[in-house]
């Protein structure tokens, strides 16, 4: 089979009549792909202003949350698994309300079967622990907040 102009025109008509965006055919060593450019951006842009009104009220709701998280963040220096205690049956290194000194161990991040003890860089009171025990953490993720 040879792909002639009439055959290509028929494929184009099938594409248009059936709301398809692409047709691909192969016949031995020959192959053809017919694509139709689809412009949906103008249709997608029109509804965007409608949800904009609720977004203007959302920051007033979220603003107090940002104020609650005061203090110095303790961030993960690596990707791994967060552990709040040295072993499953041991007490956690710190809890909300605990007082820590600079250099105190606050948690462990397991990475590649190595247990990395994370130390506090400031002295103060633990305000919030942001990660659950045994949860995966990313590099730079906030683990907890300490109020100096």
Alpha carbon distance 46, 40 (integer Å): 11
pLDDT at 1: 52
pTM (2 decimals)?
0.53
Nearest to 93 by CA among 75, 76, 105, 79: 105
- Residue 46 in any domain: the answer is no
Strands, sheet with 136-137, edge to edge from the N-terminal-most edge strand: 114-119, 105-111, 80-83, 136-137
- Residue 48 in any domain: the answer is no
pLDDT at 63: 45
Question: Domain residues for 30?
Answer: 5-35
pLDDT at 54: 52
pLDDT at 132: 94
- Residue 80 in any domain: the answer is yes
- For the record, the structure tokens of 128 come out as 């919030």
| 78 shares its domain with 24 | no
- Residue 57 in any domain: the answer is no
**Contacting residues for 15 by C-beta, under 8 A, at least 6 apart:** 21, 22, 23, 34, 36
Which residue numbers in the chain have pLDDT < 50? Answer: 40-46, 58-67
pLDDT at 34: 75
The percent of residues in the chain predicted with pLDDT above 90, rounded, is 49
- Residue 82 in any domain: the answer is yes
């Amino acid at each position: 089979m040879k792909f002639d102009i009439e055959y290509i025109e028929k494929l184009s008509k099938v594409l248009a009549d059936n709301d398809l965006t692409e047709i691909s055919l192969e016949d031995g060593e020959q192959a053809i792909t017919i694509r139709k450019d689809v412009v949906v951006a103008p249709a997608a842009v029109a509804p965007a202003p409608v949800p904009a009104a609720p977004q203007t009220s959302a920051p007033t709701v979220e603003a107090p949350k940002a104020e609650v998280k005061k203090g110095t963040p303790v961030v993960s220096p690596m990707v791994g698994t967060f552990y709040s205690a040295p072993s499953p049956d041991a007490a956690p290194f710190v809890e909300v309300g605990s007082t820590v000194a600079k250099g105190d161990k606050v948690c462990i991040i397991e990475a590649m079967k190595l247990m990395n003890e994370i130390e506090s860089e400031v002295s103060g009171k633990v305000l919030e622990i942001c990660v659950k025990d045994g949860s995966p953490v990313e590099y730079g993720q906030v683990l907890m907040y300490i109020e100096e």
